[in-house]
Structure 1
Amino acid sequence: MKWVTWLSWAVLILVVTVVGYTQLYGVIQTLLKPPPPSITNFDGVSRTAQKFELPVETITIGMAGDVLLHDTLNNYTDYRPSFEGVREMTNELDFLIVNLESLAAGEEFGLSGYPNFNSTETIIDGIKDLGSDLVMVSNNHTLDKRPAGLQASLANLKERNLPYVGAYTSQQDADQPRIFSLGSVTIGVVSYTYGLNGHRVPNDQPYLVNLIDVTKIQKDIRDLEEQVDITIALMHWGTEYELDANEEQRYVARIAHQAGADILFGGHPHVLQPYELLETGEQQTHVFYSLGNFFSGQTIENTNYGGIAVMTLTSDGKQVLSATPSFYPTEVTFTPGRVVVNPMTETDASRWTSHVGVPKYE
């Protein structure tokens, strides 16, 4: 029938219209929809690195030369006036070591000069007034008044709260490492002598004096190095009155260097000897072979010249950044009634500082 035909066409037209509209709507929605965000690699925010620098700390460590009290000056009731000329400088140092080569056992053991030295205990008050923090007591005169004299001398140091190193009252004393804190830096000190002028350490008191022994030096330094930032070795060695180090000194210095010592201060020749820097890879050892006489009654050529070796350390609070050597030259002067220590004259200071081979301490 005719109306069925028209109905079929109407349905067809409706279907086509709906399908077309749906497709067109989809196309329009696609065109109008915003594109998806693109995916990129994320590297974080780029900024200039901030630098936080820790404050740098400066520390000065000094070692004075030999204090050897001959007959002309072993009985002073007060040694402080003898050091008046250098006290201002020594008190500026953060840590000062003095080589007390004479015993300070007092009158009970007999005051005497060469060859067996002993003085009044007032020398300890004098060197303490200098600002001394540690006394080296291992030298060829350590047993000049036998073990009893040494024990009395060490007792006088203890009584004045002045630490010592190199000779000891007991095995327990010898086993106690000499470690000191200077701000953020810890230092450890060991000390030895080449001999005892024929005196012998008693078999039942082996702790009394440290003798130069390669095996012991290596062990002591390596043990100490694990506990401190800076290891210092004090050596009583060399040939008297020679202006340069001998082969034995250089050999022992190399042994200490290889073991890890950072600084070596030497005495005994009673004259000044040059400084040397030993280097192996990153390991450096600053060696002052001999610092001459700081205070003595000797009149042999060049024995009135000495001084204070100074190592200036910088630290950031975590590690030592640098170590710089310098030298403060001093001279022993004989005045009426008293021997004194003064800074060298400008001419002498220039000559002897050049001989040592480091800048003058200012």
Structure 2
Amino acid sequence: MSKRTRLFGYSTLILTIILFGIVFIDQVNTTDHEVYTVKSHSKRTENLSAKDFKSSATLTAVGDILIHSLVYNAAKTSNGYDFKPMFSDVKPMLETADITVANQETMIGGHEIGLSTYPSFNSPFEVGDALKDTGVDIVTIANNHTIDRGEKAIQNAINHYNKIGLPYTGAYSSPEDQTVIRTIKKNGITFSFLAYTYGTNGIPVPKDKPYLVNLIDLKIIEKDIKLAKEQSDVVVVSLHFGNEYQRMPSDEQRNIAKTVIGQGADIILGHHPHVLQPMEWIEAEDGHKGFVIYSLGNFLSSQKSIYREIGGILTLTVNKEIQDGATKIEVENPTFQSTYVSRSHRFKIVPLDKASQFGLANAPKMFTDINDHMYKLLPNTKVAQAN
């Protein structure tokens, strides 16, 4: 064997050892906050190779995008609407997550059918463009305003979401569309997304077109979760429920959440109250555990009063590990960054702890009070302080 061949062999061996060490260090590295870790579910994975696997992904969610006329008028330009400046200060927090979910409260039916505000909303297409630009990966569109302007607004909205490549869930264009479970795969972890609403403000859903919006029906939800679990590692359910402007979840909300977790959901994202409601771990009777945030509040709206002007950004970490053919999924480390909508700055969304620069008096105190509120059902959790 020549000297050159021996040197090449030694170099290859050393490089292999270094790479193995890097992979090993990466796989044993863990996060600093593991107090509130919940094992969502474990299952045998069939037909896997002998190789083990370990990965994680972050899921971020924001609340209601509620486009009143004051908001879309503030976004008006000479040739349309531009909502992107309203999201610019929070864009870095949303686009860095592996998956970001937003509740698009108002249908983006577009200008052609006439824009409108409360109580019967229709919003510009450009709202969807701004969400896509900001880093949103999927929108939930099942809420009490889904059919405000009828089927035309829903179909227009769905057509635009499809045009810009922004997935949606909770309202659909056809029976076939409704049967498709929305999934997103990141870092080897597959998430599924379901969405339902308590009602539609008294406007009846056409009996021959129930696909236009998903209503909360626990039997249907149980069936959908079963299908979703067959196609994904993590089931995320958005529920539009609760009492408007009530800062704590109702007994009905908590009972529904416990039932849905018991049916196999791993994460519940709550909307509708237009104010923030706390986060909680729920353990069902069968031992399955899941996470719920009862209300993410308003992320963008023109509603007045301080608690309706404050929303936030929820972030969760999901871990997946395959070892000896068994898959384990964990949801952990809920963090919440509160936000504020500054009316004096053309409805710009800003971190609450920085909101004193945008006209909110006592912003640091409000930041601490809101965080205390959001974590009150998660005892012993460390609460972040304002900078």
- Normalising by the smaller structure, the TM-score range is 0.7 to 0.9
Count of aligned pairs: 311
Contact kept, 8 Å, 1:74 with 1:113, in 2: the verdict is: no
* CA drift at 1:316: 3.1
TM-score norm. by structure 2 comes to: 0.77
Aligned-residue RMSD, C-alpha? 1.9
Aligned to 2:352: 344
TM-score norm. by structure 1 comes to: 0.82
Once residues 361 and 316 of structure 1 are traced to their aligned partners in structure 2, the CA distance between those partners, rounded to angstroms, is 29
Once residues 204 and 98 of structure 2 are traced to their aligned partners in structure 1, the CA distance between those partners, rounded to angstroms, is 36
C-alpha distance after superposition, 1:280-322 (max 9, x if no partner): 3541110100011000000034100111111112233553244
C-alpha distance after superposition, 1:61-104 (max 9, x if no partner): 01101000111012421111111110111111000000000111
Pick which of 276-285 and 125-134 moved more. 276-285
Once residues 232 and 305 of structure 2 are traced to their aligned partners in structure 1, the CA distance between those partners, rounded to angstroms, is 40
Structure 1: gaps spanning 5 or more residues: 1-50
Find out whether 1:356 has 2:374 as its counterpart.
Answer: yes
Aligned to 1:334: 343
Contact kept, 8 Å, 1:328 with 1:360, in 2: the verdict is: no
Once residues 249 and 233 of structure 1 are traced to their aligned partners in structure 2, the CA distance between those partners, rounded to angstroms, is 13
Find out whether 1:84 has 2:88 as its counterpart.
Answer: yes
Contact kept, 8 Å, 1:310 with 1:361, in 2: the verdict is: no
Once residues 383 and 236 of structure 2 are traced to their aligned partners in structure 1, the CA distance between those partners, rounded to angstroms, is 21
Contact kept, 8 Å, 2:63 with 2:311, in 1: the verdict is: yes
Question: Within 5 Å, which residues of 2 pair with 1:110-121?
Answer: 110-121=114-125
Structure 2: gaps spanning 5 or more residues: 1-23, 29-51, 76-80, 354-363
Contact kept, 8 Å, 1:333 with 1:340, in 2: the verdict is: yes
Aligned to 2:99: 95
Describe the shift of the 1:189–1:322 C-alpha distance in structure 2 as closer, same or farther (beyond 3 A). Answer: closer
Describe the shift of the 1:131–1:164 C-alpha distance in structure 2 as closer, same or farther (beyond 3 A). Answer: same
Which of 127, 130, 155 lines up with 2:131 in the alignment?
A: 127
Once residues 349 and 330 of structure 2 are traced to their aligned partners in structure 1, the CA distance between those partners, rounded to angstroms, is 34
Once residues 174 and 70 of structure 2 are traced to their aligned partners in structure 1, the CA distance between those partners, rounded to angstroms, is 33
Aligned with 1:126: secondary structure?
helix
Which of 140, 164, 170 lines up with 2:174 in the alignment?
A: 170
Once residues 122 and 189 of structure 1 are traced to their aligned partners in structure 2, the CA distance between those partners, rounded to angstroms, is 23
Aligned with 1:325: secondary structure?
strand
Aligned-residue sequence identity (percent) comes to 36
Find out whether 1:201 has 2:205 as its counterpart.
Answer: yes
Describe the shift of the 1:118–1:217 C-alpha distance in structure 2 as closer, same or farther (beyond 3 A). Answer: same
Find out whether 1:310 has 2:310 as its counterpart.
Answer: no
Once residues 101 and 220 of structure 2 are traced to their aligned partners in structure 1, the CA distance between those partners, rounded to angstroms, is 22
Describe the shift of the 1:145–1:322 C-alpha distance in structure 2 as closer, same or farther (beyond 3 A). Answer: closer
* CA drift at 1:55: 6.9
Once residues 122 and 255 of structure 1 are traced to their aligned partners in structure 2, the CA distance between those partners, rounded to angstroms, is 37
Amino acid in structure 1 at the alignment position of 2:341: V
* CA drift at 1:347: 2.8
* CA drift at 1:156: 1.2
Amino acid in structure 1 at the alignment position of 2:88: E
Contact kept, 8 Å, 2:56 with 2:189, in 1: the verdict is: no
Amino acid in structure 2 at the alignment position of 1:289: Y
Find out whether 1:192 has 2:196 as its counterpart.
Answer: yes
Higher relative contact order, structure no. (Cα contacts within 8 Å, ≥ 6 residues apart): 2
Describe the shift of the 1:361–1:126 C-alpha distance in structure 2 as closer, same or farther (beyond 3 A). Answer: farther
Contact kept, 8 Å, 2:338 with 2:352, in 1: the verdict is: yes
Contact kept, 8 Å, 1:68 with 1:101, in 2: the verdict is: yes
Find out whether 1:159 has 2:159 as its counterpart.
Answer: no
